[in-house]
Amino acid sequence: MPEPVLELREVEIRYGRLPAVRNLSLTLERGEIVGLIGPNGAGKSTTLHAVMGLVPLHSGTMALRGAPLRGRPEDRARSGIGLVPEGRHIFASLTVEENLRLGLSARRSADGTAADREWVTSLFPVIGEFAHRVAGTLSGGQQQQLAIARALIARPEVLLLDEPSLGLAPIVVETLFQTLATIREGGVSILLVEQRGALTVGFADRTHVLANAELRLTLGPGDAGDTQHLTEQLTAAYLS
Amino acid sequence: MTFLQSLIDGIGLGAVYAVVAVGIGLVFGVMRLVNFAYGELITAGGYTLALLSGAPAIVAIIVCFAVVVTLALIQERIAFRPLRGASPATMLIATFAVSFLLQNVYLLIFGSRGSTVGTLGQLNEAIAIGSLRIRYITIVAAVVGAALLAGLTFVLNRTMIGLQLRAAAADLRTARTLGVRADRVITAAFAISGVLAAAVAILLTVQSPLVTPDYGVSVTIFALVGVVVGGLDRLVTAALGGFAIGFANAFVGDLLPSSGSAYLPSVVYGLVILILVVRPSGLFASRRATAAERV
Amino acid sequence: MRSRVDSLVALAAPLLLVVVVAVVGSQLNPVRQLEFGSALVSVAIVVAIYIFVGNSGVLSFGHISFVAVGAYLSGILTLEAEQKNLILPTMFGVLRHSQTSTPVSLLLAAAAGALFALLAGGPLMRLSGLPAGIATFAVLGITTNIISYWDKIGPGVTALALVPTNGIWVFMVGALIAIAIAFAYQISPFGRKLRATREDPLAAQASGIHVHRQRLYAFVLSGALAGFAGGLLIHQLGSITPDQASVELTFTTLAMLVVGGASSLFGAVLGALLISGLNSFLADAEQGVNIGFQLTLPTGTRLVTIGAVMALVLILRPSGLTGGREVRLPRRRA
């Protein structure tokens, strides 16, 4: 059995003395989409930030293809982790093209840049269309696409997505999730933090439910069939 | 001394101050650090030129650039890098300490009497147009200042490191998650600010050749006023602000009676306070508190 | 109960330290006595700065302005009137004709410091962080500039000299007063509120604390003490020039505060004494000193060393030697 692309083992993260995440273990295989859902403050975003190196681990280990994950955020970006942060954080005063070009900072070599650029542009045609617009003038959905494109152009092995559907219309969300499926087919593994529980459970290969800094429950796409049962399960987990 | 003459002198000095303002603003942009010790870079350039007064001008100039850029990088590496992410108060005290430290190092090495720069002194000669006297250095300062700012604009807009600098200034944290290396970007900002300081040293020593340990202090403080007027994290307005203050300085200095010019510093400082109080958040608002986070 | 003991110890420790320094100093030769006296004056100045900077967390480069005003006022007031007519003929009549005792001049220096701080602080206290640093530096620049050139308020760039000096006990009492006032302030409701704004301005504001007003109170009290300490300074030095109460003094006193630990009173006192000691030793060494062998350091070594010490502490131990904590009795573990 091949090594998982990303593996978190017994991870604990603290803010001061308060644990934000406790005893969290999870794995992400190549091309997998793993969901992470839970109420606000459950520790979902914190987990992504820890993988990116934005917050330190208190204990536990994280590994990328078996090698321990260390260093500053820029080092992790360069070793194959891409983050699409909550709220997108595109550079509003730079052009779309410049935002995209910044994504290239994480590449170790220029080989294959043209092909990846083409791939990204085919996933998000809007990027090519508005290349020379100032990014701040794009709509919310377009900005979200730009943020994903910017992370993808470095060809990360792992894509960390923090609530990509936030503030988007349902129809836009549907398109977005379809695109995520295409991205996974390109060999990228996705760790997807979401508020939309049912949608994520039905979409991801596995979905972990976090509440109160701990993992409560792991669900598969099959669990999404019985909506009422799923809601009951999630409610119980959220409140536990 | 005519109005037109003052205008011309003002342009020459304004160009120099604009360059200083941009040097300070650039580092502030990526690091949220106002480098009080910027003036000591200029002073270092001045002493280098003074020591090399006998050498060919081109040699003196090249060595001046090398020394000043190296010192800028040393400042960053030794003093400011360990303090990244510290509170603004700590950083401010630190740059103040570095400034004072360097001034006393100069005092230790060169004494308080000052060293005279002879390089490029011939640029002080003037061409006369009617009753106007235009010194060559005025023209050189204006041209060099404009060229430096144009060059910087090119670097910022057309190169990868320039793009990374702009991104880091807007949101360092996000830039880092994209693989932009904070160390490299900040080093680049300091190196560029060093290049600008070296150029300023060359232009300034032609006009006032006596270099003392506190040589760079007043120009830095005046330029800082310009930066404050223009807004710290917008380089174009910082440059304009710097130009305005340099221009005003020469202009007012020319027109004011000597009894009044003694209080020029008070007027300038008063202006700083006024601007800070009237628009504190407008100018200094850290649009991203995240930029100050641990790097 | 426990907290009362704690607070007594926290007050007693710096007071005791100051008394010990004064007693030791009084036993030494006159030159050493001067150095110890100077250290005690530094304690008063640093404690004055601490009241504002330590409790508010806002940096001020401007406090030496208040020290300068206090020093000039107190110095001029204690000169004899005839003398002043002779050496300072351009000065305002009221300053020329008045003469007071040293204690009265110190009180007036405190009043002047408070008034200046009130005028400057009104607008400046709205600022914090970087703008506060730059604006307070500008206040210092203006003060130095005006004292240097305005001959109606003093001798200008030349030294204000021939001011009567005092012995070490006066400076000890001065330092003790400064510490006691700083302590009383910091355990008062005002001090507690201001410290709350230092920890979390937004939360403090949300719980009804008027940040601007609390900062202003501290700034004015701190200005008063700085003026008072300036008065001590001139009666310790006997003469002063505008440069002596300007950037360099700002630098050394901030170094003292940073090295000791800016957020505790004990840190302020300890830092002032340690850096004063270092300062005196290096100043001697610049003149040549015998420490088993003859040591002569080049001029400028003193400030370079202090700058280096300060930078090192900032980098290695940003909260200072005391870690920003007051002295406490060792606790038994429950």
Q: Tell me how many degrees the CA angle C206-C207-C210 measures, rounded to the nearest 5.
A: 80
Please, what's the b/e burial string for C198-228 (b: 16 or more CB within 10 A of its CB; e: otherwise)?
beebeebeeeebebeebbbbbbbbbbbbbbb
Give yes or no for residue B283 having a pLDDT over 50. no
pLDDT band per the 50, 70, 90 thresholds, residue B294 = very low
CA distance B294 to chain C (A): 14
> Comparing B291 with C39, which gets the higher pLDDT?
C39
User: Is residue A161 a contact partner of residue A28, using CB atoms and an 8 Å limit?
Assistant: no
The CA distance from B236 to the nearest CA of chain A, in Å, is: 15
The answer, for C126 touching chain B at a CB cutoff of 8 Å, is: yes
Q: Which of residues 126-145 of B touch A (CB under 8 A)?
A: none
CB contact under 8 A, C301 and B108: yes
Instruction: Please answer yes or no on whether B97 and C300 come within 8 Å at the CB atom.
Output: no
Q: How far is B273 from chain A (nearest CA, A)?
A: 30
Q: How far is B153 from chain A (nearest CA, A)?
A: 14
The distance of Cα B206 from the centroid of its chain, to the nearest Å, equals 16
Count of CB pairs separated by less than 8 Å, B with C: 120
Query: B272 vs C134: CB contact, 8 Å cut-off?
Result: yes
SS3 label, residue C189: helix
Q: What is the CA angle C255-C258-C262, rounded to 5?
A: 135
C residues 41..100 contacting B (CB < 8 A):
57-59, 61
Most confidently predicted of B67-71, B238-242, C59-63: B67-71
Are residues C134 and B34, on separate chains, in Cβ contact within 8 Å?
yes
CB C133 within 8 A of CB B89: yes
CB contact under 8 A, A93 and B170: yes
Per-residue pLDDT, averaged over C93-113, amounts to 92
Q: How far is B136 from chain C (nearest CA, A)?
A: 33
In percent, how much of chain A has pLDDT > 90?
Answer: 72
Per-residue model confidence (pLDDT) at position C299: 75
* Structure ipTM: 0.91
| C327 φ, ψ (degrees, to nearest 5) | -70, 140
Is the confidence at residue C167, as pLDDT, over 70? yes
* pTM for the structure as a whole: 0.85
% of chain B surpassing 70 pLDDT: 89
Query: Is the CB of C149 inside 8 Å of chain B's CB atoms?
Result: yes
pLDDT in tens, C177-227: 999 999 999 999 999 999 998 888 888 888 888 989 999 999 999 999 999
* B83–C146 CB contact, under 8 Å: no
Q: Which of B166, B180, B295 sits opposite A105 (nearest CB)?
A: B180
Contacts with C127 from chain B: Cβ below 8 Å: 276-277, 280
Hey, how many other C-beta atoms are within 10 angstroms of the C-beta on C281? 17
CA distance A103 to chain B (A): 5
Mean pLDDT of all residues belonging to chain C: 89
Whether residue B179 lies within 8 A of chain A, CB to CB, comes out as: yes
**How confident is the model at residue B1, as a pLDDT?**
53
| Whole-number Å distance between alpha carbons of C184 and A153 | 61
Beta strand pairing status for A206-211 and A67-68?
unpaired
- Please state the separation of Cα C199 from the chain's center in Å: 24
- DSSP string over A147-169: HHHHHHTT--SEEEEE-TTTT--
> Alpha-carbon distance B196 to B184, whole Å?
18
Q: Does B169 touch chain A (CB under 8 A)?
A: no
Residue C311: per-residue pLDDT: 82
Residue pLDDT, tens place only, A53-75: 999 999 999 999 999 998 999 99
Lowest mean pLDDT among A109-118, B264-273, C53-62, C161-170: B264-273
Contacts of B262 in chain C (CB under 8 A): 145, 148-149
Nearest CA in chain B to C319: B90
> A93-131: buried (b, 16+ CB within 10 Å) or exposed (e) per residue?
ebbbebbbbbbbbbbeeeeeeeebbebbbebbebbbebe
Are the C-beta atoms of residues A28 and B147 closer than 8 Å to each other? no
Question: Could you tell me if C121 lies within 8 Å of chain B, comparing CB atoms?
Answer: no
Is B177–A85 a contact, with Cβ atoms under 8 angstroms apart? yes
Q: Euclidean distance between the first and final Cα of chain C, in Å?
A: 16
Do A102 and B178 lie within an 8 Å CB cutoff? yes
Q: Report the residue of chain B nearest C308, measured CA to CA.
A: B101
Name residues 194-223 of chain C within 8 A of B (Cβ): none
Given this model, what pLDDT does residue A207 score?
A: 95
Provide Rg for chain C, Cα atoms.
20
- Mutation to test the A interface, candidates B160, B161, B174, most A Cβ within 10 Å: B174
